Amino acid sequence: MVGNVRQLESLFSTFSLELASASVEQLEDTIQTFIAQVGSELEADRCYLLLIDEATQTLSTSHEYCAPDISPQSDAIQDVPMARFSWLAEQLASESVVAIPDVEKLTPAAAEEQREFRRQGIGSLVLVGLRLDGDIAGALGFDYVGRSVSLENSEKQALEKLAAILGASVHRRLLSARNQRFESSLYRYSEQFPGVVFQFRAYPSGRMTLPFISGRVEDMFGLTHATVKPDATPLLDRIVPEDRKAVFAGIEKSAQTLTPFEIQFRAEKVNGEIAWIEARSVPAMLADQSVVWHGYFFDITQKKTAESEIEQLAFYDPLTKLPNRRLLRDRLAQALAGSTRDHHHGALVFIDLDHFKNINDSAGHVVGDELLIQVGHRLQQSVREWDTVARIGGDEFVLILKGFSAGSASAATKVEKVCEKVRDALNEPYSLQGVEYNGSPSIGVTLFYDHDASLEDLLSQADMAMFRAKEDGRNCIRFFDSKMQSDVSERLAMESDLRAAVRREQFSVHYQLQVDESGSPIGAEALLRWQCPGRGMVSPAEFIPLAEESGLIEQVGYWVLEEVLSQVADWQRRGDRLSKLPVAVNVSAKQFRLPSFCTTVMALLRKTRASPRNLKIEITESALAYDLEMVEETLRTLRSMGIRVSLDDFGTGYSSLGYLKRLSLDELKIDQGFVRDILDDPNDAAIAETILALASALRLSAVAEGVETRGQLERLIQMGCKRFQGYFFSRPLPSAEFERLVEQPDDGRSKMTR
């Protein structure tokens, strides 16, 4: 290569300072200057920065320098799939610097890369990998058009140093872009929300502030951000005097109990009108004993007016006493608003009775009316009290189903089951004027979630889905979205496979090692695996939630406990290192809440003859969102048997110091989501350190999950963590492989932490 090593070293020194001191706004220009000077120094025809999009696994040129008369390639290299250049990806993964002195001498394995190089007229090139957290995130490249260059070791070392300082700047650029996207999304969301999004903070001294409030507060109350952020009093003064006492009482109660704050009150708007306002928020206690609420409020005056009108107008069908089309529209508008507010799916279901005209024509309208009344009654019995059943005319009924999970596939499956229940109910024989009649429905469904479609659009979609059900043979259920129909079918098929897996015992248990700071084994976590004959290895993230929703989790959980305790008993009989190793078993919230849970565990311990001291029960915070007295009774019973209890994924759910001090726990597990970015995200590092300090103060042990790098391990050790689990030490292994791992000499295991 033509470059001067000393000059490259000089560039390293110069740009290390410039890149480090450049602001985020200046970083793009500084990187471009860096690219141009390095490319010029190495007499490259092109010098460029390639970045890999982790989510899409595509390659794009972000910066490029070209010598005079050399055509740029940045537009051509955008969103190129990495799979296209698999040979080059392998080289970058194994070599810090990839030098290709002669493109024409590449091996057949690099045929795709060779064609691309020829297209660009490249004779030789050099690529220096940029690594972030050990993974290839991009490359610094140098092209030599129509000529060959070679690379000396000293030049290679200089390029590695240049790539290192550039990689750090790229990482900073990516983090900044991510933060900007998050902040932009927050403001964009809040401005699109029909009300005012806020963060309200009450200090022990009585001072009240609004650290964040969306811009709509000015439209509604004429108050600027600058006015209400440091002092919330001007906004609170807008509440009409008659309602202030109830509002402040609600705030005080919410602060004392740390329960959500929901209230409706009247306030004076900027135009002098008195409006009804609904406020909802969730509180959290901060370290300085102040309480912060995250929530929103919006104008519900129209809703109040509509409620007043409902009292005066007939909103119900005179025959079936069900809501009619007018009330249905109001209920659907409320359901759409609730879906946006609560981030839940809802469903609009159109039901048409098959061949209803025949009974009307043959038996008369009196019999037909009696059928409609019975259908309405059966529909009401088939849905929940907060759902809506309406008759919109003739033999057409509509259901509004609410409160399903945010995941579309899961929500669609649950809606499908409700509709199956409805279909079964309407398929039961009817007794009409002493004569038995058999009928069936055609059912069409459309889902809504944070929906911007009009009410008429949704009604039309459900109606079209219903007609599709009739075209497909009647007495069936069809979704408006064909993909959703496919997702529902797939989910139901997986549920069927899961039931078969329970019957045929297709599950297995793998064990993941837990170690102390020296790398010595201190325990293991049992992890369930499913090898499905038709699907291969199915992720627990897919089948565990499905097992919970389908009611299979109790059977699966019992099998896991019995399998693990049998293995523990076998290790005890061997009398070696494994005999003293405690094994943690994850227990679902549904299984943990069963009244028979402790009895079941005790029976399995007797059956397998496993020592309870070698068993650790892991529960998630969702198991605690129940009757705390009953939860504590279960925990005390388990611990009285000698079983330890660990709280898994701490900090990701219903984290509260209130339950921690009340419950009998032995261990907190730091969720891997906090460990993953512990070196880069100060917030994650602070959370992990706080959990460790909290565990120490409460005399609980703490285990950090998801440790994958030495840097993460060393940082956690600095924080005072003494127990670890993750791929850095071992992946989850079948029992035989796990035994070999534990039984290897101490010096072999200690290499993991050196």
Q: How confident is the model at residue 16 (pLDDT cuts 50, 70, 90)?
A: low
Last residue of a domain, one of 183, 215, 249: 183
730-733 long-range Cβ contacts below 8 angstroms, 24+ apart: 730/512, 730/513, 731/512, 732/510, 732/511, 732/512, 732/525, 732/527, 732/529, 733/510, 733/511, 733/512, 733/513
**Residue 207 falls inside a structural domain:** yes
In terms of average pLDDT, the best of 574-583, 656-665, 742-751 is: 574-583
Alpha-carbon distance values, 129 to 50, 58, 105, 480 (Å): 9, 15, 22, 48
Residue 479 CA to residue 465 CA, distance in Å, equals 6
Q: What pLDDT does residue 290 have?
A: 93
Mean pLDDT of 649-669: 74
Question: Is 199 part of any domain?
Answer: yes
382 and 436 fall within a common domain: yes
pLDDT of 5 strictly over 50:
yes
Asked whether residue 308 is domain-assigned, the answer is: no
466/91 Cα distance (integer angstroms): 56
Whether 485 is covered by a domain: the verdict is no
Domain termination site, one of 303, 332, 366: 303
Give the model's pLDDT for residue 247.
Answer: 94
The CATH number covering residue 258 comes to 3.30.450.20
Quick one: pLDDT at residue 641?
93
Of 303, 324, 340, the position where a domain reaches its end is 303
In this structure, is residue 486 part of a structural domain? no
Find residue 668's DSSP bridge partners. Answer: 647, 702
Prediction pTM value: 0.45
Q: What is the pLDDT of residue 177?
A: 63
Same domain, 526 and 630: yes
pLDDT in tens, 497-531: 999 998 888 999 999 999 999 889 999 999 999 99
Helix (H, G, I), strand (E, B) or coil at 99: strand
Residues 451 and 499 grouped into a single domain = no
Please check whether residue 188 lies inside any domain of the structure: no
What does the pLDDT read at residue 214? 84
pLDDT winner (highest mean) among 31-40, 686-695, 701-710: 701-710
Output the pLDDT for position 548.
84
Which amino acid type is present at position 328? L
Query: Is the domain of 573 the same as that of 671?
Result: yes
Q: Is residue 627 over pLDDT 80?
A: no
More confident: 531 or 626? 531
CA distance 12 to 26: 18
Q: Which structural domain, as residue segments, surrounds residue 66?
A: 5-183
The whole-number pLDDT of residue 309 equals 64
The predicted model gives 278-290 an average pLDDT of 90
Q: Do 537 and 463 lie in a common domain?
A: no
Any idea which of 229-243, 373-387, 638-652 has the lowest mean pLDDT? 638-652
What one-character DSSP code corresponds to residue 539?
P
Q: What is the pLDDT of residues 176-192, one digit of tens each?
A: 666 556 555 655 666 66
For residue 698, pLDDT beyond 80:
yes
Averaged pLDDT for residues 390-415: 88
In a domain? residue 94: yes
Most confident of 80-89, 398-407, 430-439, 722-731: 722-731
> Given this model, what pLDDT does residue 524 score?
96
CA end-to-end span of the chain:
38
- Verify that 607 and 712 share a domain, yes or no: yes
Neighbours of 456 (CB within 10 A): 9
Domain identity same for 368 and 259: no
Query: How confident is the model at residue 620, as a pLDDT?
Result: 84
167 and 45 in a common domain:
yes
513 with 742: CB under 8 angstroms? yes
* Residue pair 542/487 in contact by the 8 Å Cβ criterion: no
Q: Which two tokens stand for residue 291?
A: 């309480």
Contacts 24+ apart (CB under 8 A), 287-291: 288/203, 288/204, 289/204, 290/201, 290/202, 290/203, 290/204, 291/201, 291/202, 291/254, 291/255, 291/258
Q: Are residues 298 and 324 in the same domain?
A: no
Q: What is the DSSP string of 470-531?
A: HHTTSS-EEESSHHHHHHHHHHHHHHHHHHHHHHHT-EEEEEEEEEETTS-EEEEEEEEEEE
Could you give the percent of the chain with pLDDT greater than 90? Answer: 44
Give pLDDT tens digits for 701-738.
999 999 999 999 999 999 999 999 999 999 999 999 99
**Residue 44 backbone phi and psi in degrees, to 5:** -80, 150
pLDDT of residue 21: 65
The domain that holds 530 is classified in CATH as 3.20.20.450
**Which pLDDT value is given to residue 453?**
63
Q: What is the mean pLDDT of residues 640-662?
A: 77
Q: By the 8 A CB rule, do 507 and 559 touch?
A: yes
Which run of H or E residues covers position 63? strand 58-66
Among 114, 80, 121, residue whose Cα is nearest residue 100: 114
The reply to whether 95 and 175 lie within a common domain is yes
- Give the pLDDT confidence score for residue 12 in this predicted structure: 66
Average pLDDT across the chain, whole number: 86
> Is the same domain home to 74 and 128?
yes
Here the tokens at position 467 are 């007609």
Question: Would you state the pLDDT for residue 2?
Answer: 44
Of residues 6 and 136, more confidence is placed in 136
pLDDT bucket at 62, cuts 50 / 70 / 90 = confident
Q: What is the CATH number of the domain that holds 87?
A: 3.30.450.40
641 vs 458, higher pLDDT = 641
Q: What does the pLDDT read at residue 236?
A: 93
Of 337, 352, 228, 323, the residue nearest 280 (C-alpha): 337
State whether 428 and 293 are in the same domain.
Answer: no
Number of domains in the chain: 4
pLDDT tens across 537-587, in order? 999 888 888 888 788 888 999 999 999 999 999 999 988 889 989 999 999
Residue at 518 is within a domain: yes
Which CATH number fits the domain that encloses residue 351? 3.30.70.270
Find the mean pLDDT for residues 55-61. 86
Of 131 and 22, more confident: 131
